[in-house]
Structure 1
Amino acid sequence: MNYTGVGSLFFLILSVAVAWFVWEDSDSSTAIPDYSTTKLLAEQGDGEAQYQLGLLLLRGLGVTSDPEEAQQWFQKSADSGNAHAQFQVSQFHDRKFQSSENPEHGIKAFNWLKKACDKGSWEAQTKMGQIYLNGLQIEGLEVSPDQGTAAFWFRRAAKNGSSNANYQLAKLLDANPKLAKNGEESLDYYKKAAEQGNPDAQYWLGVIYLEGKLTRRNHGLAIEWMNKAAQQGQPYAEYMVATELEREGKIQEALNYYARSAEQGFAEAHYKIGLIYRFDTLIDADLEKAEFHLTKATELGHSKAKEERIGLLAEQGDAENQYYFGNLLKNRYFDGGARKSFLHDQAYVWYEKSANQGYPAAQNEMGKHLYLGNPEKAFSLYRQAAHQGLSPAQWNLAIMYMKGEATERDRMTANMWRIISESTRPAGDMYSYGRMSARFQFAPLNETEMEEVQALAQRCMETDYEVCAGT
């Protein structure tokens, strides 16, 4: 695979909302407080203890988790002015708004967020930056997107220690250098966030060193930061580390990283695993695993995986996918205006394989292909597909009966198949199969003939194409 376009493939990360619950000042080394002692202080009106008690109850640390009671203590602490508790109250109302769409909760969430911002909560300041970055509109409240204000809040949060704010500011300045001030550079903020352990920033810093976008290329540093991000489960970093391992021939290690990325829903990782199990010569082929991962990638919208899956199933003898593989090859014949006859020929090899297994769409396709050179074979294929209920084949069979090609001319049978085809064609398919011009080839029927033809069509369809005129 060509990795020169890393930017187009991997610049996919969206803004990550601050939705996790943090211990005070994001200090992961802070010891978890004793529940009984904390509760005693909280009941005595200590605002900080009330906030800490809320976290204990929310996260079930030293006590059974109780989100409702946690919220009560957060509210008490917030009312006393605790910034972190105010943020939690804002989060509570935001979740209520998201689940109920009640604008009252949305407005309360924003108002408590403002209070928390003013009190210095970096969680709140980061989220406020995201609100101004994307805008907010609910009944009774509208915040227009404003990148300058977003940068203002990200800067405040970054100064208060938010790695996510450093990361968000880096992305914002990277996309809009004019927002930088006093010698600011997005690379500096990427580095700060990465050094604080932000996995998304570590990934992006790896991409920057890999592409040399904001600094000189440095493959070693790129892989170093990618590895750090991958160790924290950043799916795109896991993928990039896997590609490096694959390049070094460490296939099993690469598969482990691809699998970790795939487990997080990254379609490209599923696709790569599928290719390895199907084609790689450094590992035993496993077509079952290849199909599984190509299917997963297809379900996630990966177009190349869909094509590879079709090819794999076609090679395993699946008639439907042999037909679709023929379609793929036929379409490629016309790609870019440069016609490649070998693809056209290969397409009909697969159509024939599918048709020989009785797949009706392939039978119809082969019928069209053979119509001029071998009308008898075309007639046989159309008839087989028509008896399986395929509307285009029924129409083509009707034309051959009307013209008397490869069979005796039979107006009644021709019109029977015409009526059946028109009744089974997809809704809205007004112009398929050349209907608008071909209809004029059917001679008008008198009233008696029309009644007879309609009866023939009804009997044919009611018997599931077992008893049909002309067969």
Structure 2
Amino acid sequence: MALVDRLGAALSPAWALRRALQKQTSNEPTAAFPLFVRAAAAGLPDAQFHVGRAYLEGIAVPQSRCEALRWLTRAGNAGHVEAQSLLASMYIHGFAVNQNTNDSLFEDRGEQRPDFENAMIWARRAAVNGSTDGQAILGYILTNGPEAIRDLDAGHELYQKAAECGSPQGALGYAISLAQRAKDSKDHEAVVQFLKRAADAGLPTALFLMAVVTEGGMGTTRDVPRAVQYYRKAAERGHRNGQARWGAALLEGKGVEGNPPEGESWLRRAALAGDAEAAALVGDLYARGGDLPPNYAEAVLWFTRAAENGHKGAARALGVLYLTGAGVGRDPDEAARWFRISAEAGDRRAQADFANLLLRGGGTPEDLVRTRQWFEEAALSGDLVAAFNFGVCLAEGIGVEKDGKQAVHWLRKAAEAVVNAQYWYGRMLTEGRGVPENEAEGRAWVSKAAQSGMVDAQVSLAEMMINGRGGPRDHAAALELFSLAAAKGHVGAMFALGAMYGGGHDVPQNRVIAQQWFRAAAERGHPHAQMMLGRYLARGLAGETNDIEAREWLERACAHGLAEAKQDLNRLPAANSEARLQQTTVH
């Protein structure tokens, strides 16, 4: 502090305050602060307010909420209206700390909880003293505080009073309150009118809400490009939802020229600030890849961030990644945990995924019951996919006693739109489960599902065509269906193709092709295919004899308990000739 300032401050606290304000206006906070302290120590409320705000914001002095609270409280008790409003805001945001608590750079303050009781005291004092900000803050407390102090009508009136006096915060609060009471288009127009006042003042939340109403055409003309610019302004002022929407717009080129790299950057900012949707979008970017291959490990990190913030879609995505082992070690239990979280949050696909895991033997009895309840509730509300899943629960006794009749009812309802339900309903008809057996109608429903590309239905229909169940035999058509299913990885269809090409069916015999299909199925763990491949190799049915490999495949089949394979194995020569290790005879 200059000599003249020290002398002036010592002689007159008022002079010190005036000098401090001059220094502050000249953007000299370091020079202003000691002058404010001299005046504040002498009891000048305005100086106490400036000292408190300096400590709160860390201007020219290390930030200290404890000191901020002490000086602002002194100013507020002396009637300083701005200090009273700021104190109310501090208590709402949980920034106020006990005056005897020492601030520490290394202190973990934990969760900062609002103190509405003290906030209301200071807001009311500021409002009574004519502060429009105090009125707006008191309106917020009365409309958003605990139920015991809530008074929506009084809060609405305070917002209106503050808004009419030019308070941007009041205009924002009044717009939100009006929106909750709006009944017609005129009311919505009034909402936009006050919302725009707050947005024009640069309030981030108002800018974001203006974007929302402009994008949706609520109370104003729908204008996506203009809405996107509001999202941009909100994003630039640190509004995390605005950052997420602005990032998504840049990513998709919606209402603005596309810029995926910048869009991803904004999404990352929003995600790191806690926006679950943004984190899920970033995770999806990594999972899908693009110019670069997918990075599932990075996707897991972002999906986890989103899921932990309540994003049900991200939780399901994690379930899929853990189930498949993409980006993480394969872990069905962890997959089930994430599917359960997503399902309990209402994600229909996750409910189905979770149910499929339960069908494989996972989960607890409580899981089975809860899954059935999800499907039942959704089915009763008209969800046909849920109706199918509920039908399967009833048919298989998942979380409920088996009830074939009710299963048929729900499967038939779902079959109008759900391919899997068509297949299941067809099976119930052909097997006479819960309904009189009707093989012809059952085959028709299975055929319908097969035509839609369902692999299990294609295999089932092909089997019916081979044995003439529910309709005429048609081995050529069955061969075509088995081929379609095998191309999609159906192991049973691969075995069936081997059997058909092996002879005894109304298709040309070709044992070389038959052996190829038996091998394909055997390598995928099909016991009967392993036995047939061993038999082919032992007997040279496809022109090639190989006792060593035949023994290996027959032993695998025996391990699955196939008695016929044991007989074939016993017919093989003893495995004690070194020369036979090289044996391969072509006929």
Q: Same fold (TM over 0.5)?
A: yes
Shift of 1:164: 1.0
- Aligned in 2, Cα 1:177/1:211: closer, same or farther, shift over 3 Å? farther
CA RMSD of superposed structures (Å) = 4.0
SS in 1 for 2:417: helix
The corresponding residue for 2:169 is: 123
The corresponding residue for 1:204 is: 245
Cα deviation, 1:121-145, whole Å, max 9, x if unaligned, reads 33322222223334269xxxxx986
SS in 2 for 1:336: coil
Give the aligned residue type for 1:61. A
SS in 2 for 1:81: coil
Instruction: Give the 5 Å matches for 1:346-365.
Output: none
SS in 2 for 1:179: coil
Q: Distance in 2 between matches of 1:136 and 1:200?
A: 24
Give the aligned residue type for 1:152. Q
Give the aligned residue type for 1:91. Y
1:61 lines up with 2:96 in the alignment: yes
Give the aligned residue type for 2:338. H
Q: Is the 8 A contact 1:274 1:293 kept in 2?
A: yes
1:51 lines up with 2:85 in the alignment: yes
Q: Is the 8 A contact 1:234 1:261 kept in 2?
A: yes
Please, which moves more after superposition, 30-39 or 125-134? Answer: 30-39
Shift of 1:313: 1.1
Q: Is the 8 A contact 1:132 1:145 kept in 2?
A: no
Cα deviation, 1:288-326, whole Å, max 9, x if unaligned, reads 111111111111111111111111111126796895286
- Aligned in 2, Cα 1:369/1:221: closer, same or farther, shift over 3 Å? same
SS in 1 for 2:310: coil
Q: Distance in 2 between matches of 1:167 and 1:155?
A: 11
Shift of 1:70: 3.6
The corresponding residue for 1:293 is: 338
Shift of 1:343: 5.4
Within the candidate set 322, 336, 340, 2:417 is matched to 336
Q: Distance in 2 between matches of 1:36 and 1:307?
A: 57
Give the aligned residue type for 2:132. A
Within the candidate set 34, 45, 63, 2:68 is matched to 34
Give the aligned residue type for 2:78. Q
Give the aligned residue type for 2:417. G
1:92 lines up with 2:141 in the alignment: yes
SS in 2 for 1:146: helix
Shift of 1:71: 2.1
Q: Is the 8 A contact 1:126 1:165 kept in 2?
A: yes
Q: Is the 8 A contact 1:135 1:144 kept in 2?
A: no
Aligned residues: 326
TM-score, length-scaled by structure 2: 0.48
The corresponding residue for 1:255 is: 300
- Larger Rg: 1 or 2? 2
Q: Is the 8 A contact 1:230 1:237 kept in 2?
A: yes
Q: Distance in 2 between matches of 1:73 and 1:276?
A: 51
- Aligned in 2, Cα 1:28/1:334: closer, same or farther, shift over 3 Å? farther
Give the aligned residue type for 2:147. S
Cα deviation, 1:149-190, whole Å, max 9, x if unaligned, reads 222212211222201111111121222299369999222211
Instruction: Give the 5 Å matches for 1:18-417.
Output: 34-57=68-91, 59=94, 61-63=96-98, 67-95=116-144, 99=147, 105-135=151-181, 146-176=187-217, 179=220, 185-248=226-289, 249-316=294-361, 323-324=392-393, 334-336=415-417, 367-368=433-434
TM-score, length-scaled by structure 1: 0.59
**Runs of 5+ consecutive residues of structure 2 not aligned to the other structure:** 1-51, 100-113, 373-388, 397-406, 440-587
Cα deviation, 1:333-370, whole Å, max 9, x if unaligned, reads 82538788765678899xxxxxxxxxxxxxxx975478
Give the aligned residue type for 2:177. I
Q: Percent sequence identity over matched residues?
A: 19
Shift of 1:60: 5.1
- Aligned in 2, Cα 1:186/1:81: closer, same or farther, shift over 3 Å? same
- Aligned in 2, Cα 1:50/1:127: closer, same or farther, shift over 3 Å? closer
- Aligned in 2, Cα 1:42/1:264: closer, same or farther, shift over 3 Å? same
Higher relative contact order (CA 8 A, sep 6+): 1
